């Protein structure tokens, strides 16, 4: 039926320029099928640890149901500041340098809107999380994607970024451990990026939401802890992944006070504050849930090894992910595109995963599998994927 009003013309060009995320498309199909194993959504299969949930129940019982300060509960901001001091020796002021947001999702949006003038360019290594490009576009910026290479385990280097720099480049977004590849950057890799940011006078948005899920001895590195980087870096992290708190919608951003104040203005008018219940729960997470978090990370690590060995045995080129809870095998030996692979696998073997091109053009030829699911399900999924792959090789 023809619409009476020409909505496409009336909608903002920025909104028209973005597509809905294709990640969920397969889950909508999968949800109508029986016996489907999903390696799709980037969401922990654990429920939030009990003491965190209980702190929320307690807060409700006591009648904590109001707004909070725009920037977030002081006790939560103090715990965030303590974490950065303790873990990375980075000093933030809880009153001026921290903003509690509705997930890292909101923090990304605020950062782009606070920083970008129309036409400013944002360098985004790819494959990457789907929001980076969309939030840049919605803020009237221009996302410039830079392909990272599997030969380099999807790490990005200044030499790869350099050809994309123009006099409009304003922001560099980095996200390690990476969604969808599971890549991490070494200290030396990051130091090289720091030099590059300094040379081109860029603001760095460092999405560290998977920092707790780093499976190396070296552990996570906070970009703001590198020499000279605190001033020009917005560090973002949250509770969704590390504490199995996706539904609570709480995260935070730390950075320069002038920039945080600018982001707080937007937050004040659009969100007002993150929910008080979620903030109380997040405070408890930082105070008393380290052991539960570490137990979950240990389990992800066990699954990571299983799924990596499974793909290697199948004969699909694959590098060992070192962080987050994703693996990103190369499926080109099957002769299928990533969409064909995902569609046919779902139809034939009832396994749902995400085609690599959902994370940008350079993800084509790959699939993203999340191992945030029970180990017996991962084992069964590997049997099914292997059956599917061997028919095509
Ligand atoms: N950043 C990355 C890299 C993610 O993978 C996700 C969620 O999948 C987010 C940010 C959004 O996190 P939040 O739940 O804190 O909004």
What DSSP line would sit under 68-112, residue for residue?
--TT--HHHHHHHHHHHHHHH-----TTTSEEEESHHHHHHHHHH
Question: What pLDDT is recorded for position 28?
Answer: 77
- CATH topology assigned to domain 7-48+292-390: 3.90.1150
Q: Do 213 and 177 meet the contact criterion of CB atoms below 8 Å apart? A: yes
Question: What pLDDT is recorded for position 295?
Answer: 97
Which uninterrupted H or E stretch holds 146?
strand 142-147
- Between helix 257-270 and helix 103-115 the angle, nearest 10°, is 110
Question: What pLDDT is recorded for position 1?
Answer: 66
Asked whether 21 lines ligand 1 (CB < 6 A), one says: no
Question: What pLDDT is recorded for position 215?
Answer: 98
Atom of ligand 1 nearest to the CA of 240: 14
If you measure from the C-alpha of residue 10 to the centroid of ligand 1, how many angstroms do you get, rounded to a whole number?
A: 30
Q: Could you tell me the end-to-end alpha-carbon distance of the chain, in angstroms, rounded to an integer?
A: 46
Separation CA 324–CA 180 (nearest Å):
8
Asked whether 105 lines ligand 1 (CB < 6 A), one says: yes
Residue located nearest, by CA, to atom 8 of ligand 1: 42
Asked whether 104 lines ligand 1 (CB < 6 A), one says: yes
Q: Domain ranges in the chain?
A: 7-48+292-390, 50-289
At residue 183, what are phi and psi to the nearest 5 degrees? Answer: -70, 150
**pTM for the full model?**
0.96
At residue 352, what are phi and psi to the nearest 5 degrees? Answer: -100, 130
Residue 351: strand pairing partners: 37
If you measure from the C-alpha of residue 241 to the centroid of ligand 1, how many angstroms do you get, rounded to a whole number?
A: 8
Asked whether 209 lines ligand 1 (CB < 6 A), one says: yes
Atom of ligand 1 nearest to the CA of 207: 1
Q: What's the pLDDT tens digit per position in 92-129?
A: 999 999 999 999 999 999 999 999 999 999 999 999 99
Question: What pLDDT is recorded for position 22?
Answer: 75
Domains 7-48+292-390 and 50-289 share a fold: no
Among 23, 48, 129, 275, say which to mutate for ligand 1: greatest number of ligand atoms within 8 Å of CB: 129
Question: What pLDDT is recorded for position 29?
Answer: 79
SS (H, E, C) 224-280: HHCCCCCCCEEEEEECCCCCCCHHHCCEEEECCHHHHHHHHHHHHHHCCCCCHHHHH
If you measure from the C-alpha of residue 45 to the centroid of ligand 1, how many angstroms do you get, rounded to a whole number?
A: 15
Asked whether 103 lines ligand 1 (CB < 6 A), one says: yes
Which uninterrupted H or E stretch holds 320?
none
If you measure from the C-alpha of residue 169 to the centroid of ligand 1, how many angstroms do you get, rounded to a whole number?
A: 24
Atom of ligand 1 nearest to the CA of 104: 15
CATH 1.10.3720.10 fits 50-289, yes or no: no
Separation CA 121–CA 116 (nearest Å):
8
The one-digit pLDDT tens for each residue of the chain (393 residues) are 677 899 889 999 999 999 888 777 777 778 888 899 999 888 899 999 999 999 999 999 999 999 999 999 999 999 999 999 999 999 999 999 999 999 999 999 999 999 999 999 999 999 999 999 999 999 999 999 999 999 999 999 999 999 999 999 999 999 999 999 999 999 999 999 999 999 999 999 999 999 999 999 999 999 999 999 999 999 999 999 999 999 999 999 999 999 999 999 999 999 999 999 999 999 999 999 999 999 999 999 999 999 999 999 999 999 999 999 999 999 999 999 999 999 999 999 999 999 999 999 999 999 999 999 999 999 999 999 999 999 998
Atom of ligand 1 nearest to the CA of 251: 15
Among 72, 100, 240, 279, say which to mutate for ligand 1: greatest number of ligand atoms within 8 Å of CB: 240
């Amino acid at each position: 039926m023809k619409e009476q009003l020409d909505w496409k013309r009336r909608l903002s060009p920025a909104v028209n320029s973005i597509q809905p995320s294709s990640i969920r498309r397969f889950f909508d199909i999968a949800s109508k099928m029986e016996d489907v194993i999903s390696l799709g959504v980037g969401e922990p299969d654990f429920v939030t640890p009990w003491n965190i949930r209980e702190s929320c129940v307690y807060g409700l019982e006591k009648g904590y149901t109001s707004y909070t300060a725009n920037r977030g509960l002081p006790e939560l901001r103090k715990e965030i500041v303590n974490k950065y001091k303790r873990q990375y020796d980075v000093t933030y002021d809880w009153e001026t340098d921290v903003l509690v947001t509705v997930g890292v999702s909101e923090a990304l949006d605020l950062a782009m809107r606070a920083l970008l003038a129309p036409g400013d360019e944002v360098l985004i290594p790819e494959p990457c999380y789907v929001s980076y490009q969309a939030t840049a576009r919605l803020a009237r910026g221009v996302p410039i994607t830079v392909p990272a290479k599997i030969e380099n385990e999807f790490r990005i280097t200044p030499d790869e970024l350099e050809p994309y720099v123009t006099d409009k480049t304003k922001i560099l977004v980095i996200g390690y451990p990476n969604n969808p590849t599971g890549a991490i950057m070494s200290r030396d890799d990051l130091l090289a990026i720091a030099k590059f940011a300094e040379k081109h006078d860029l603001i760095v948005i460092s999405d560290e939401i998977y920092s707790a899920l780093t499976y190396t001895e070296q552990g996570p590195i906070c970009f703001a802890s590198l020499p000279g980087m605190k001033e020009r870096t917005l560090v973002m992290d949250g509770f969704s992944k590390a504490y199995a708190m996706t539904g609570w919608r709480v995260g935070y951003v730390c950075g320069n006070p002038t920039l945080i104040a600018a982001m707080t203005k937007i937050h004040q008018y659009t969100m007002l504050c993150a929910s008080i219940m979620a903030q109380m729960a997040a405070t408890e997470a930082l105070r008393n849930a380290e052991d539960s978090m570490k137990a979950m990370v240990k389990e992800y690590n066990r699954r990571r090894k299983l799924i990596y060995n499974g793909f290697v045995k199948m004969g699909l080129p694959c590098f060992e992910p070192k962080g987050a809870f994703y693996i990103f095998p190369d499926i080109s030996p099957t002769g299928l595109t990533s969409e064909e692979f995902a569609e046919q696998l779902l139809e034939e073997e009832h396994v749902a995963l995400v085609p690599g091109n959902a994370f940008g053009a350079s993800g084509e030829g790959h699939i993203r599998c999340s191992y945030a699911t029970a180990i017996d399900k991962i084992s069964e999924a590997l049997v099914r994927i292997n059956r599917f792959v061997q028919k095509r090789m």
